[in-house]
Amino acid sequence: MRLEYTDRQQRFRKEVRAWLEQNVPKQPLRSFDTEEGFAEHRAWEGRLAGGHWSAVTWPREVGGRGCDLIEWLIFEEEYWRAGAPLRVNQNGIFLLAPTLMEYGTEEQKQRFLPRMATGEDTWAQGWSEPGAGSDMAAIRCKAVRDGDHYVISGQKTWSTRAVWADWLFGLFRTDANSVRHHGLTFILLPLNLPGITIRPVQQLNGETGFAEIFFDEVRVPVSNRLADEGAGWQVAMATAGFERGLMLRSPGRFQQTAKALVDLYLRHQARIDADPSVRDAVLQSWMGAEAYALATYRTACRLAKGGQIGAEASTNKIFWSELDLLMHETAMRILGARAELMPHAPDAGDIGRWLDGFLFAQAGPIYAGTNEIQRNIIAERMLGLPRS
Amino acid sequence: MDFTFEEQQVAFRDAVRKFLMVEAAPEMLREIWETESGRSKDLRAKLADQGITALSVPEEFGGIGLGDLDWVLINQELGYYAIPDSLSDTAYLAAWLLTRLPSDISLKKAWLPRIANGTARIAIGHPVNPFVSDAQLADLLLLWHDDEVHAVQRDQVKLSFNPSIEMSRRLYQVKWTPSDATRVAPARIGRELWEGVLNRAALAVSAQQLGLAQRMLDLGIDHSAQRKQFGKPIGSFQAVKHQLADVAVKIEFAKPVVFRAAHCLANNRPRAAVHVSHAKLAACEAAWASARRSMQVHGAMGYTWEADLQMFMKRAWALDAAWGDRAFHKTRVAQHIFAEGAALGPGETFN
């Protein structure tokens, strides 16, 4: 065990920090769930890519810089420390890309990855349907083979960022007679094809962060299929592994929030210590963020030595989503009667970001597989309990 | 950056695990604990044969000369198999303290080889603990007095026994008189030594709590897979599954906190004390959650003397406040994070 950064890693951190200091926008960008904000975030992705920083773990040939997972963690720490913008193309870069690299053809990698790195193509996900939420194997949206095309009909829902995204990846039923996780295929498609209707859905904050997507005989070339026909479930599980596992939520995010929470508490300490449970919650928050960082480093080191992400990836998702809730609930309690103010309220000052974060934290235990599903996975695959 | 243990460390841990699985079965421990001393010379001799008692003793005194990282793995096993206090107290803490005493070579020569070969028990008295564990069997007591270190023979102290709900614990109120003859380190040296003992003791308890948490989780899994209700194993019901899954989450995220603390102590890192306190809090929380959830999964069986769960549950409860209660350790963490200009946030994890 050696918990020190190498000279090379320290130099890398300095390089990241210097670039971010030069390039991170001084004014926060508008929300990427608005049209203007989406465009601003897309432009930021382009700027990141210009410095080869948009997808550091990818190979150089497709726009990355070949970083290992420790360097990725260092990059992320610096990114959050610098208060840089949220990643509008996260679905693509962190979730689809690792899947593409594992299952995609050379042609597909060359076609999709460089444009993803620059933000020219932004990606949405197509998993959930009205009848298939936690029970993802109940997917019905069908893709019928017609020569060298699939003809897609049906509906997807809760598709994050689909309102302004360019492309969608998801699971479709290619075998009409199949049931459950058989007969599903992983398909990539542009969202501007004829027959696609996108209906934005307003979220808690009033913005359209996700959408319903209707497919009416949408023709998609077979070359847009990832891996074999009928292999979609296996491919999707790999994506879900990345999502729950390492890359969806890097620890820097929560450590930055924990630090901000400590500052917030200290500024209001004279008043809020009347409720001693707040101080304890701040303490728990900081310890939780540290624990998450440590666990992630440990996993990264294990993977570097040839280990695999297993069912314990499900413990991550539960841990960070509950931590995020704790931190934002605590911040709301500290802010007291001002916590409810909208960010643009004249007397809100800079506290609005806590409300944004609080609202977003509510979704954490639901998206990327509800925490109840994660607990089932832990119980059955990690602890070996009998299936329900 | 490498957050994994060396292959040799893991191999030694695995050997100890296999040994304890056979030699420290619950029914054997129960028999030992029913005796007045609560300890078995036979078991201690076997543990010495495994090399555990020699782990921290320097090679020049007949030991193996290993340190905090090795002990963190072994202490997890001692927790998992509910091995009583005196082993880690003697072979880890006392060996560490004796080795670092200023130049009293006769004391080291007298005791370190005996620790290594498993023939000495040494008890440690520190003001953070109101009682001294295993004082009645101790051949030597290392006692705190105004930051000085005193080495006191068993016949120089007066003991009064305080029974604990935890069957393996043997807690004593110790009365003694410090003198020049018993003093083996003055306060100016002793202060740092006692800080080192306290941190290592809290780390040892943390690692044991991880082991206890895992054992109680395993007992809960076994029970819920075997016990049938409504025609099915109760472990197939989500309400039961989720209780145990939550424990797995707590253990998974307490482990690296404990390992970081061990690494920082082993390398004299400036924030080691804060990390130890964090480790103790995280591990105790995991252990208590495991006790509560496993008890619930066991149903009424969990409330019996007969079910083995009690052995581990009571130990987890008892160790919660050993070597600093939660208030003590929270205060140490709070002093770090609420200090003006504290270095918190991303990138500070390993500083």
Is there a single domain that holds both residue A154 and residue A185? yes
Cα angle A70, A73, A76; round to 5? 150
Residues of B in contact with A374 (CB under 8 A): 245
Is there a single domain that holds both residue A140 and residue A200? yes
CATH number of the domain that A311 lies in?
1.20.140.10
Give the pLDDT band (50/70/90) at residue A311.
Answer: confident
Q: Total structural domains in chain A?
A: 3
- Residue A92 domain-assigned? yes
Best residue of B241, B257, B294 to probe chain A, by most A CBs closer than 10 Å: B241
Above 70 in pLDDT, residue A20?
Answer: yes
Closest CA to A84 of A138, A47, A139: A47
- Residue A145 domain-assigned? yes
Q: What integer pLDDT is reported at residue A352 of this predicted model?
A: 80
Q: What is the mean pLDDT of residues A309-314?
A: 81
Is there a single domain that holds both residue A49 and residue A132? no
Q: Total structural domains in chain B?
A: 1
Q: What integer pLDDT is reported at residue A84 of this predicted model?
A: 97
Give the pLDDT band (50/70/90) at residue B161.
Answer: very high
Give residue-wise pLDDT tens across range B238-268. 999 999 999 999 999 999 999 999 999 999 9
Is there a contact between B345 and A81 if contact means CB atoms under 8 Å apart?
Answer: yes
- Residue B296 domain-assigned? yes
3-class SS of residue A191: coil
- Structural domain span for residue A291: 245-382
User: Is residue A167 a contact partner of residue A196, using CB atoms and an 8 Å limit?
Assistant: no
Is there a single domain that holds both residue A142 and residue A64? no
Is there a single domain that holds both residue A154 and residue A49? no
Give residue-wise pLDDT tens across range A363-375. 999 998 999 999 9
User: Chain A residue closest to B222 (CA)?
Assistant: A385
User: Chain A residue closest to B341 (CA)?
Assistant: A263
CATH number of the domain that A180 lies in?
2.40.110.10
Closest CA to B255 of B6, B73, B15, B97: B73
Is there a single domain that holds both residue A28 and residue A142? no
**pTM attached to this predicted model:** 0.96
Q: Does A262 reach chain B within 8 Å, measured CB to CB? A: yes
Give residue-wise pLDDT tens across range A129-163. 999 999 999 999 999 999 999 999 999 999 999 99
Percentage of chain A modeled with pLDDT above 90: 89
Which residues of B, range 228-287, sit inside 8 Å of A by Cβ?
Answer: 232-233, 235-238, 240-242, 244-246, 248-249, 252-257, 259-260, 263-264, 278, 281-282
Q: Does A193 reach chain B within 8 Å, measured CB to CB? A: no
Least confident of A95-104, B226-235, B327-336: A95-104
Percentage of chain B modeled with pLDDT above 90: 96
Q: Does A270 reach chain B within 8 Å, measured CB to CB? A: no
User: Active-site positions of A?
Assistant: 243
Is there a single domain that holds both residue A254 and residue A224? no
- Structural domain span for residue B298: 193-337
Is there a single domain that holds both residue A262 and residue A376? yes
Above 70 in pLDDT, residue A242?
Answer: no
Q: What integer pLDDT is reported at residue A249 of this predicted model?
A: 87
User: Chain B residue closest to A253 (CA)?
Assistant: B346
Give residue-wise pLDDT tens across range B205-230. 999 999 999 999 999 999 999 999 99
Give residue-wise pLDDT tens across range B86-106. 999 999 999 999 999 987 789
Give the pLDDT band (50/70/90) at residue A243.
Answer: low
Q: What is the mean pLDDT of residues A92-118?
A: 94
Q: Does A385 reach chain B within 8 Å, measured CB to CB? A: yes
Q: Does A266 reach chain B within 8 Å, measured CB to CB? A: yes
Give residue-wise pLDDT tens across range B298-327. 999 999 999 999 999 999 999 999 999 999
Is there a single domain that holds both residue A109 and residue A165? no
Is there a contact between A286 and B333 if contact means CB atoms under 8 Å apart?
Answer: yes
Is there a contact between B217 and A383 if contact means CB atoms under 8 Å apart?
Answer: yes
Is there a contact between A295 and B334 if contact means CB atoms under 8 Å apart?
Answer: no
Q: Does A283 reach chain B within 8 Å, measured CB to CB? A: yes
Is there a contact between B253 and A318 if contact means CB atoms under 8 Å apart?
Answer: no
Above 90 in pLDDT, residue B283?
Answer: yes
Is there a contact between B253 and A287 if contact means CB atoms under 8 Å apart?
Answer: no
Give the pLDDT band (50/70/90) at residue A245.
Answer: low
Above 60 in pLDDT, residue A244?
Answer: no
Is there a single domain that holds both residue A128 and residue A111? no
Q: What integer pLDDT is reported at residue B337 of this predicted model?
A: 98
State which H helix or E strand residue A150 sits in. strand A149-160
Number of residues assigned to chain B: 351
CATH number of the domain that B212 lies in?
1.20.140.10
Is there a contact between A77 and B233 if contact means CB atoms under 8 Å apart?
Answer: no
Q: What integer pLDDT is reported at residue B185 of this predicted model?
A: 95
Interface size, chain A vs chain B, as Cβ–Cβ contacts under 8 Å: 172
Give how far A207 is from chain B: nearest CA, Å. Answer: 30
Q: What is the mean pLDDT of residues B264-284?
A: 97
Residue carrying structure tokens 């610098």: A82
Give residue-wise pLDDT tens across range A177-187. 999 999 999 99
* β-bridge partners, A168: A124, A189
User: Is residue B279 a contact partner of residue B258, using CB atoms and an 8 Å limit?
Assistant: yes
Is there a contact between A291 and B257 if contact means CB atoms under 8 Å apart?
Answer: yes
Average pLDDT over chain A, rounded to an integer: 94
Is there a contact between A251 and B232 if contact means CB atoms under 8 Å apart?
Answer: no
Least confident of A342-351, B50-59, B142-151, B250-259: A342-351
- Residue B302 domain-assigned? yes
- Residue B127 domain-assigned? no
3-class SS of residue A143: strand
Q: Which of A90, A117, A144 is the last residue of a domain?
A: A117
Give how far A55 is from chain B: nearest CA, Å. Answer: 19
Average pLDDT over chain B, rounded to an integer: 96
Is there a single domain that holds both residue A252 and residue A378? yes
Give residue-wise pLDDT tens across range B31-53. 999 998 899 999 999 999 999 99
Q: What integer pLDDT is reported at residue A240 of this predicted model?
A: 65
Q: What integer pLDDT is reported at residue A88 of this predicted model?
A: 96
Q: Which of A175, A207, A231 is the last residue of a domain?
A: A231
Q: Which of A117, A143, A162 is the last residue of a domain?
A: A117
Above 60 in pLDDT, residue B21?
Answer: yes
Q: Does A153 reach chain B within 8 Å, measured CB to CB? A: no
Q: What integer pLDDT is reported at residue A241 of this predicted model?
A: 67
**Which residue of A78, A287, A382 is in closest CB contact with B347?**
A78
